[in-house]
A and B are shown apart, each in its own frame.
Chain A
Amino acid sequence: MSLDAFESEIKTEFLIEAKDLLSSVEQCFLDLEKNPECNKVLNNIFRLAHNLKGSSGAVGFAELADFTHKLESLLLALKEGRIAVTKDIVDLLLRSNDYLVATIDCLQKDMTATYFNAELSDLLCNAMTGTLNTESSSLPGPTDIEVRVLPTESKARETFAVPGSVEIPLSLIETSTPVQNKVKDENIRVSLVRIEQLLNNVGELSILQAVMVQQSFERDTVISSLMRETLSSMSKIVKDTQSLSMGLRMLPIKQTFQKMQRIVRDTSQTLGKDVELQLVGEETEIDKTVLEQLSDPLVHIIRNAVDHGLEDSGARMNLGKPGTGCIRLSAFHRAGHVVIEVNDDGKGLDAAKLIQKAKDKGILSSDALISNEQAYQLIFAPGFSTKEVVTDVSGRGVGMDVVKTNIKALQGQIEIETELGKGTCFRILLPLTLAIVDSVVVRSGSERYVIPLAQISEFFRPQPSEINFIYGRPELLTLREEHLAIFHLPTLLGRDSATSAAEKEASLLTALIVTDGRTTKYAVMVDQVLSQQQVVIKPLGNEVKGHCGLMGSAILGDGKPALILDLFEITKKARGSDKQKKKTEINKRETA
């Protein structure tokens, strides 16, 4: 079956919207569990379910509409107090929510997919009749007709069976809630592509603006005072516009944080621990791309905190701590970074134990002497776990390794602060945005290249005595008693610059020390470091994307593009031979 373009467009729109709705619904369910009496929360859920039902029917997802209808009936019963909000009910609601999310994911991939969970919808019906228990799930559920009949049937009961909490007459709730509570939506959904176009243009505008201002200060430029004034007020507006438009990519971290509430609830239930999650700084804004990739590592850290960090209630009581464990998840901005902290008041990390474990597992050699701080870092080592038993929740020793890799991919850092018996704090530092990188601009021959600062540990102009020649070619650089291989950028790029010997003499030859912080360390020679600055990454066209170590390009102050180089990638081939050697070395170390 092929869908008409228009129809598929509205369906796509609907699915995006539905996903948003569902994530807010989940939060409401969790709130509901905490205070089942709160009518406001129920009204909220009801409204969201109602919206979902209405629009899914309207765009032609009949199964979805049918399911949400059943969900809505149950919610109505809850709202009217005919059914008490119990843990089982909340579980069922959460499961329905998961099912809806799965359905929508499925539909996003294939609009014609049919996805129907009869068992869950039977459970919903059963819940309506108040027979929700483990046996009922296997019984054939009542048919649709019964569900639709129920509300009218129970109305009579309603008038006298209401438990004190609902004071308002039923008729009033029914008629007023869906209509009056409708909040006016003042947001517009804009595609990221359009925002990026806007950012491009604004960036260009500010460059042009800078050129113009510079021109106006040239000695022989004659310019009227009005013009000068206009120019200066324009500068302000351009600057303002730029910071505003940069802000468009930013989203509050709220949604990601709220997901964690569910993780904590599920994990603590599986483990039988009492855990409370506190959220601080949900409104902190963070770049959309960073946000999307943050969720996975956070899930790992939080599950870890619940499983390893917190003791169970009994042990806590014995230690004189409150029985309910507490995890605080907070976000804030600090010095150009977004900081996200996961604090638990559990048992903390035991350095001595970590070291012992690492030695047992052969991650650390048996005679190694390391500081406590280094010991804490061991938990990020692949295959490391202090847990004796592998469970569903954790213990495989994979999680924290993945966390570190993910955070690194986001150009972030992760720190650990811990006190034995008091708790642990994982602190993630992330750049405000991935669109900007700290970098150095270097000159090689007549060309300029941009190199991310993250790849180099230092740069300096070596003395002639520090460069050792092999067969008349500079090959080794002596740096603090260490000998590093030298690579020349023009050679690496396959452009042996035709600069004359005289020019070479006078050049400001600089060595960039490239290191990935572990085993590899070498020097790349460039003719000069021009500046150290932040650049906005501009993607290259598909025709050159991924070409020999290009990470993208950046537009420099004079409006010309320069290429951003990935030095690891570029030197890969040249390092090939000695890399092999290193690999065997590492292997030896690992087996040892």
Chain B
Amino acid sequence: MSHEESKKPARARQADTSERYLTFLLGKEQYAIPLLQVKEVIEMSEPTPIPQTPSYFKGVINLRGQVISVLDLRSKLQLTKIENGPKTAIIILDLEPALCLGVIVDRINSVLAFHSEDVSMAPDTLALKGQFLTGVARRDNRMTLILDIRAALSLHDLQVVQTNTQSQVA
């Protein structure tokens, strides 16, 4: 473990009790995901649609020669749709194992470090949504919803769909 930490000096410098998050807006609410899952943030560019995919699957974009799938986080979470504006951005996620995806969000806010005492469990009333919320962080009277991005995108389902179609082909 010590050997892994030496590889990530940026993280090691942080106190054990806090982690850094990228915060962004979906509609009016502020959401956050762990910064370590973010590869980069890019300007919105119109994706090339892929036929026969769910409506939140927006298509593929060209990120410096790499073709990356882009999903609309708003429609995935069934939030009211807001038209793309100049602030609309794509967060490029770098998830294990070797999964690179883009998600569309309304606006990027900032990088924040939340101490563990700032974060509380998602309230039970949010039970339904709670399955992809890992917690709620409070700072300066503002609430930030911390997302489990893998659960939010139902990546598991996506992969199941994929293996199904593949086995059909084979």
Contact = CB atoms under 8 A, between A and B. Distances in A.
Contacts of A563: 48, 50, 60
Interface in B57-78: 57, 60-62, 64-69
Interface stretch (B16-24, B36-44, B139-147, B157-165): B157-165
B6 to A, nearest CB: 13
B79 to A, nearest CB: 21
Contacts of B48: 447-448, 553, 560-563
Interface string A528-557: 000000000011111111111010110100
A497 to B, nearest CB: 11
A561 B169 contact: no
A495 B50 CA distance: 10
B96 to A, nearest CB: 12
A494 interface: yes
Contact of A543 (B49, B52, B99, B169): B99
A197 B101 CA distance: 17
Contacts of B100: 541
Contacts, number: 85
Contacts of B98: 542
Contact-residue bracket for chain A = 20 to 34
Contact of A555 (B62, B101, B169): B62
A333 B169 CA distance: 36
A547 B67 contact: no
Contact of A538 (B66, B69, B159): B66
B53 interface: yes
A94 to B, nearest CB: 38
B125 interface: no
A560 B48 CA distance: 7
Contacts of A538: 65-67
Contact of A200 (B52, B66, B162, B169): B66
A546 B162 contact: yes
B162 A543 contact: yes
Contacts of A547: 50, 52-53, 162, 165
Given A494-B51, A561-B60, A544 B65 contact: no
Interface residues of B, number: 28
B166 interface: yes
Contacts of B159: 542-543
A552 B100 CA distance: 16
A105 interface: no
A203 B69 contact: no
B135 to A, nearest CB: 26
B67 A555 contact: yes
Contacts of A546: 162, 165-166, 169
B61 A561 contact: yes
A257 to B, nearest CB: 33
B49 A447 contact: yes
A448 B49 CA distance: 10
A163 interface: no
B51 A545 contact: no
Given A204-B65, A550-B50, A561-B61, A543 B158 contact: yes
A559 B69 contact: no
Nearest to B163: A546
Nearest to B61: A561
Contacts of A560: 46, 48, 62
A569 interface: yes
A547 B166 CA distance: 7
A561 B62 contact: yes
A563 B46 CA distance: 15
Chain A CB within 10 A, most for which of B52, B67, B100, B159: B67
A493 interface: yes
A540 B69 contact: yes
Chain A CB within 10 A, most for which of B51, B64, B158: B51
Contacts of A544: 50, 53, 57, 60, 69, 162
Given A538-B67, A541-B100, A548 B52 contact: yes
Interface string A193-226: 0000001110110000000000000000000000
A7 to B, nearest CB: 13
Nearest to B98: A542
Given A547-B52, A569-B169, A541 B99 contact: yes
A352 B87 CA distance: 75
Interface string A222-259: 00000000000000000000000000000000000000
A444 B139 CA distance: 50
A548 B64 contact: no
A137 to B, nearest CB: 45
A553 B51 CA distance: 13
B48 to A, nearest CB: 5
Given A547-B53, A561-B62, A569-B169, A542 B99 contact: yes
Nearest to A538: B67
A495 B65 contact: no
A495 B64 contact: no
Chain B CB within 10 A, most for which of A199, A555, A561: A561
Contacts of A204: 62, 64-65
Contacts of B68: 541
Contacts of A561: 48, 60-62, 67
Contacts of A552: 67
B162 A540 contact: no
Contacts of B64: 200-201, 204
8 contacts: A538-B65, A540-B60, A540-B69, A541-B67, A543-B101, A543-B162, A544-B60, A552-B67
List the 10 closest pairs (A to B, CB-CB), nearest first.
A200-B65, A493-B51, A204-B65, A546-B166, A538-B67, A553-B67, A204-B64, A561-B62, A541-B69, A543-B158
Interface of A: 199-201, 203-204, 447-448, 493-495, 538-548, 550, 552-553, 555, 559-563, 569
Interface of B: 46, 48-53, 57, 60-62, 64-69, 98-101, 155, 158-159, 162, 165-166, 169
Given A555-B65, A560-B62, A563-B50, 6 more contacts: A538-B66, A542-B159, A543-B159, A550-B50, A553-B67, A555-B62
